[in-house]
Chain A
Amino acid sequence: MADRKLIRELQAIVGRDAVLHAPEDLLVYEYDATIERGLPEAVVLPVTTQQVSRLVKLARRRGLPVVARGAGTGLSGGAIPAAGGIMLAMTRMTRILEVDAENRLAVVEPGVVNLDLSKAVAPHGLYYAPDPSSQKACTLGGNVAENAGGPHCLAYGVTTNHILGLEVVLADGDIVWLGGKTADPPGYDLRGLVVGCEGTLAIVTKIIVRLLPLPQATITLLAIFNEVDQASRAVSAIIGQGIIPAALEMMDKVTMQAVEAAVHAGYPPDAGAVLLIEVDGLPETVGPQAQAVEVICSELGAREVRIGFSPPERERLWAGRKGALGALGRLAPSYYILDGVVPRTKLPQVLQGVYEIGERYRLRIANVFHAGDGNLHPNILFDESQPGQSEQVLAAGADILRLCVEAGGTITGEHGVGMEKRDFMRWIFSDDDLEVMSRIKVAFLAGDGFNPGKVFPTGVGCGEITSRQRAVIQALGPDVYI
C-alpha cells in the first residue's frame, strides 16, 4: 500500500483520474496471462512521454521499481510487479501518430493494439506483419518488450524485424530516440537491445514500425495426417525443399478435439495431427507453391489435403487456431504452456520425446505450435487441485525444455524468459555469457529500477530479489493465447 505523499506526487504528474491506489483497483493489475501475481503500490496511466519521464524520475528518487504493462496478455510474467513499486499502464497511450504509406512506416504509441494498427493501415494496402494470437488485445509496446512472434512470423520475421525506431525513457528519466525512420543509423543498435528486453532496460513511449504491402493472393491448406510423426516430417520436408510458407502451424489430436468442441472451426477431430499452411504472394505463384506443398504432404502420408477454403472458412480455421489455448480449458482445469524451440529437422524426434515425457509423468499434453519455425508450444493439462500434480507438471515442463536445449534449441522462442524460466537460462548460457549480458543493464543504468526479477537467473545482474522459485502454472481463461 502506497503512502499518501507518493499518491499525491503521482497525481501531481498525471492527474487524479490517472492514479489507482485503492486495493480493489490494484487487484486488476496484479496479473497477466500467467498465474504469477504481484501487487504494485500504485498504478499510473500516463498519456505523454513527459509524464512517463517524470514518473520514472519520481520512482527513482523514491527507490521504487517501475513496471510497464500493456494489455496483460504476456505469457512469462513480464508485466507482473515482482517487487511491488509503480506500475505504468500504457493503455491510454493509444494514438497512431503518423502513417506514411509511401515509405511504408507508422509511428505509434505503445498502447496501440496490434490488430488495430493493421486495420488502420489496411486502406493503404498495408499491414503490420507480426501477429501474436492475442493480436486483438495485445499492445505494440508489449510486443516490443517481449519481441513477440506469431503464426505469420515464419516468412516475415518477428517483432524486432519490423521495428525501425523507439522513443524511450531511460532509468534516469532521459528521453531519447533509438534508431529512427531511416536505414542503417550510425552507432550501436540500441533499438535492437531494447526490443525483447522485457521491460528491464527502458520504457518505450513511441514506436516506428515497418509496414508491409498486403499480399495479392493467399491460399490456405489443411493437411490431415493420422500420425504426428508424419506431420512433423512434412514440416522439415517443406522447408528443406526451399518453400517458405507464410504460415506453417501444427495442431495435434487433443488440441483439435478441444477446438472443435469449442468453436467448430472445421478441424478433423479424429486425425492424429493437421498442418495449417498458408502460402501468399502473386496470383501466378501461390497456385504452384500450394501444389508443391500438397505433393510433399501427400508423399509423407497425409490422408487428405484440403484446399480452396472460402474466406469465412479460412477465418474459422484461424479463429480455431488462435483460440486453441482457451479451448483447451474444456479438457482440464489447468494447463502449463511451454515455448521451446528446436531446429526444424529435430521436430519429429523432439515431439516424440514430448509425448513420452507426458506418458512418464502420466500427464496429458496438447501440442499446438508454429511448426515452420520449430517453435513448440506443448500444453500440459492437469488439475491444480490434485495434491502433488503441480510439482509433477513443473518437473515435466523442465524435462521438455531440457529436451529442446539438448536438441540444439532454446527455452523460449517468443514468450520471453520472464520470471518462470530465468533459472533455466543457465542451461543455454554460461556464467560469462550472462555476466556480459548483465553489463548492458549496467550501461543503461537500469539496475533494479525497471521490472526487477525478470530475465536473469537469481544471482546474476544487479541485485537480487527473492525468487519464489515457482514456475508458472497457467490459470484457465478465455483471454489466453499462443
Chain B
Amino acid sequence: MVREAVLHSHLESILGSERVFPREEAASYAVDGIVPQAVALPATVEEVAEVMRLAQREGVAVIPWGGGSAMTLGNSPRRYHIALCLSRLNEVVEHEPADLTATVQAGMTLASFQRHLAASGQFLPLDPPSPQSATIGGILAANASGPSRHAYGTARDLALGMRLVMADGRIIKAGGRVVKNVAGYDMVRLLIGSLGTLGIIVEASLKLAPLPKAERTLAAVLPSAQSAFGGYRFAAQAAGLSLRAVELLNAPAAKQACLGRKSADLSAPDRQVAPLGEVPEYAFALVLAAAGEAAAVERSLNQMSELSRQASALSLTEVDASVQGQLWESIAGLALPSANETSLVCKAAALPSRVPALISGLQAAGQGLSLEPLIVSHLTAGIVYSIWPLRPDGTETALELVTALRQTARELGGSLVVEACPPALKERIDVWGEPGPDFPLMRRIKEQLDPQAILNPGRFLGKL
C-alpha cells in the first residue's frame, strides 16, 4: 500500500494542489468515523478517470462523494483512502425543453438543477431529502426518492442514460438520451441504487415532467392505526385522482413536520398555527398533495374530503398555499438522521395493504423498549420509515430494536433497511438485512466490475 504522502502527491500531480486536501482537512468527509487520507476534487470526467486509474494502480479504496447527504447509508467502509468529491462536475450538459429530457453532470445539486428546469416550466420529479445538498449522482447511486414517487415512480423510471467511470478508470456510456431504448443490457438500472460500488456516475440523462399547473395539499387526521387502513383503502380507491403524494404520519412525525427541521418554522406566528390540524397523540395524519390541472386538483380534493369523512376523519384541513412547499420539503426530510442527535432510521417495505399492520408492529416493538418513533409512510408504495431517538450509549438497545423491527417486517412479508445508525451498531449487523438467494449473482457482478474491490468496499449488501 502506498504511503499517505505519496498518495497525496500522486493526486496533486493529477489535480493540482488546490483540488487535493490532506487528511487534516478531510474530517467532514469521514464515513462512520473513518477519515480518508485525501479528498480529491476532479473538475472533469477525464480527471475522475485518472484518479481511478491511480487508485487501481495503488490498490487504494475510493468513496465517491456527492453532496454527502446520504453518507449514513450502507455498512461501514472496509477501507477508505480517497474521498472522490464530484461537486465540481456541476453543469447542465444539454436541455432541450421540447424533448422533456435533460443531461446533467453528476455533481449538480437537485435544487440547482430544478431551478434551471423551472425556467422552462419543467422539473425532475424526484423529491428526496436535502435537495439543497443532494446531487443528481448521489440520488441515483442511492436510489433516493420521496413522496412524489406515488405519481412519478423512482429514479429507475426516470433515468435514460449515464456516463460512468469504472473502477479501472475506463469511461463508459450506458443507455442513451432518448426516452425509449432497448439496445443492450440495462446498465442504467443496475447502477441506480448500487451506492457507488460498481462504477462512478459522472453524468446522467433524465426524463423530465412539466410543472403541474396547480397543487393543493389536504390533511386528514385519522383516529387510529386501524383507520389508517381505511386511509390506505381510500387512497387506493382514488386511483384515477390527480394525486402527487400520499403520506401517512404518526402524531410525533406530524408535529416534527410542522416544526420544520432545517427550514423556517412552519408554526411561526405569521403562519398557520397547525398546518395539518391538531393531531392527537394516538392519531395519524394522512397528507395528500393533488397536482395537475386546476379542475383535476379541485375534483381530487373534493373526492378525498368525502372519502376522509367516510373514514371517520377527526379533522380535515387544507394546508395554506403559502406553507405547502415548505411542509412537503419538511415531510420529505423527516427520514434524515439528525446531525446532532444519535438516532436510528429504518426503512421498512411491505405490501401497501400491510402498512397499517407494519406500523402497529413497529410501534409495538418500540413499546417493549419504551421508545416512541417518528413514523412516516409512502403509503401507496408500502414504505414505512421509522426514526428512533437513541441515547449515545444505546448500541445494545438499538441492536435489540433492529432485531425486533426486522422480525416484524419479515412476518409481514417485507424487509427492513437501517438507513442511519451509530457506527458501533454497523459492526454488529448488515444494515441492508440478510442477503437472499440472489446474492451470489450480485457478488459475481461486483467481482466482474470492480475485481479489486476499490469502489466503496464493504458498504453494500452482504458487505460487498
> A and B: partners?
yes
> CB distance A197 to B185 under 8 Å?
yes
A184-B143, A437-B184 known; A189 vs B122 contact (CB < 8 Å): no
Contacts of A282 in B (CB 8 A): 240-242, 295-296, 299-300
Q: Interface size for chain B: under 10, 10 to 19, 20 to 34, or 35 or more residues?
A: 35 or more
Q: Mark B421-453, 1 if CB is under 8 A from A, else 0.
A: 000000000001101111101101101110000
The closest CB in chain A to the CB of B437 belongs to A176
The closest CB in chain A to the CB of B173 belongs to A433
> CB distance B461 to A187 under 8 Å?
yes
Among B186-200, those with CB < 8 Å from A are 186-187, 189-190, 192-194, 198
Q: Please, how many angstroms separate the alpha-carbon atoms of A189 and B449 in the complex?
A: 15
Contacts of B184 in A (CB 8 A): 417, 425, 429, 434, 437, 455
A373-B180, A437-B185 known; A183 vs B242 contact (CB < 8 Å): no
Shortest CB-to-CB span from A475 to chain B, Å, is: 22
Question: Is B83 part of the contact surface with A, judged by Cβ < 8 Å?
Answer: no
* A285 in complex: contacting residue of B154, B242, B442, CB < 8 Å: B242
* Most chain B CB neighbours (cut-off 10 Å) among A182, A195, A289, A408: A182
* B415 in complex: contacting residue of A185, A193, A370, A421, CB < 8 Å: A185
* A187 in complex: contacting residue of B177, B298, B438, CB < 8 Å: B438
A189-B192, A445-B444 known; A103 vs B353 contact (CB < 8 Å): yes
> CB distance B350 to A182 under 8 Å?
yes
> CB distance A187 to B435 under 8 Å?
yes
Question: Is B364 part of the contact surface with A, judged by Cβ < 8 Å?
Answer: no
Question: Is A284 part of the contact surface with B, judged by Cβ < 8 Å?
Answer: yes
A189-B156, A344-B98 known; A443 vs B445 contact (CB < 8 Å): yes
Contacts of A33 in B (CB 8 A): none
Among A202-243, those with CB < 8 Å from B are 212-213, 215-216, 236-237, 239-243
> CB distance B239 to A213 under 8 Å?
yes
Shortest CB-to-CB span from A311 to chain B, Å, is: 19
Stretch of B28-36, B164-172, B217-225 with 4 or more beta carbons under 8 angstroms from chain A: B164-172
> CB distance A161 to B153 under 8 Å?
yes
Contacts of A178 in B (CB 8 A): 438
* Most chain B CB neighbours (cut-off 10 Å) among A102, A125, A241, A416: A102
> CB distance B299 to A343 under 8 Å?
no
Contacts of B441 in A (CB 8 A): 170, 176, 190, 443-444
> CB distance B172 to A436 under 8 Å?
yes
Question: Is A95 part of the contact surface with B, judged by Cβ < 8 Å?
Answer: no
Contacts of A411 in B (CB 8 A): 183
Q: Mark A118-129, 1 if CB is under 8 A from B, else 0.
A: 000000010000
Q: Please, how many angstroms separate the alpha-carbon atoms of A432 and B241 in the complex?
A: 46
Question: Is A16 part of the contact surface with B, judged by Cβ < 8 Å?
Answer: no
> CB distance B242 to A281 under 8 Å?
yes
> CB distance A413 to B182 under 8 Å?
yes
The closest CB in chain A to the CB of B441 belongs to A190
Question: Is A345 part of the contact surface with B, judged by Cβ < 8 Å?
Answer: yes
A189-B190, A440-B448, A445-B444 known; A341 vs B98 contact (CB < 8 Å): no
The closest CB in chain B to the CB of A213 belongs to B239
Question: Is A409 part of the contact surface with B, judged by Cβ < 8 Å?
Answer: yes
Among B96-133, those with CB < 8 Å from A are 96-101, 121-122
Q: Please, how many angstroms separate the alpha-carbon atoms of A289 and B210 in the complex?
A: 14
The closest CB in chain A to the CB of B179 belongs to A373
Q: Interface size for chain A: under 10, 10 to 19, 20 to 34, or 35 or more residues?
A: 35 or more
Question: Is B70 part of the contact surface with A, judged by Cβ < 8 Å?
Answer: no
Contacts of B382 in A (CB 8 A): 103, 182-183
Question: Is B413 part of the contact surface with A, judged by Cβ < 8 Å?
Answer: yes
Q: Please, how many angstroms separate the alpha-carbon atoms of A383 and B173 in the complex?
A: 39
A187-B439, A237-B98, A285-B295 known; A182 vs B349 contact (CB < 8 Å): yes
> CB distance A410 to B461 under 8 Å?
no
Question: Is B265 part of the contact surface with A, judged by Cβ < 8 Å?
Answer: no
Contacts of B177 in A (CB 8 A): 343, 408-409
Among B274-299, those with CB < 8 Å from A are 292-293, 295-296, 298-299
Among B48-104, those with CB < 8 Å from A are 96-101
* A410 in complex: contacting residue of B181, B298, B432, B460, CB < 8 Å: B181
Among A351-380, those with CB < 8 Å from B are 370, 373-375
> CB distance A183 to B353 under 8 Å?
no
> CB distance B182 to A146 under 8 Å?
yes
Q: Please, how many angstroms separate the alpha-carbon atoms of A161 and B160 in the complex?
A: 12
Contacts of B417 in A (CB 8 A): 186
Question: Is B157 part of the contact surface with A, judged by Cβ < 8 Å?
Answer: yes
Contacts of A284 in B (CB 8 A): 293, 295-296, 298-299
> CB distance A439 to B96 under 8 Å?
no
> CB distance B239 to A343 under 8 Å?
no
Question: Is A192 part of the contact surface with B, judged by Cβ < 8 Å?
Answer: yes
Contacts of A409 in B (CB 8 A): 176-178
> CB distance B415 to A182 under 8 Å?
yes
Q: Mark A130-172, 1 if CB is under 8 A from B, else 0.
A: 0000000000000000110100010001101100000000100
* A183 in complex: contacting residue of B101, B192, B296, B381, CB < 8 Å: B381
- Please name 8 pairs of A and B residues whose Cβ atoms are closer than 8 Å in the assembled complex, sorted by A: A103-B352, A103-B382, A187-B439, A240-B98, A341-B180, A344-B100, A436-B172, A443-B448
Known: A149-B182, A197-B185, A412-B181. 4 other contacts (CB 8 A): A189-B156, A242-B210, A284-B293, A417-B184
Which 7 pairs from chain A and chain B are nearest by CB?
A242-B210, A192-B189, A240-B98, A213-B239, A413-B180, A443-B444, A439-B448
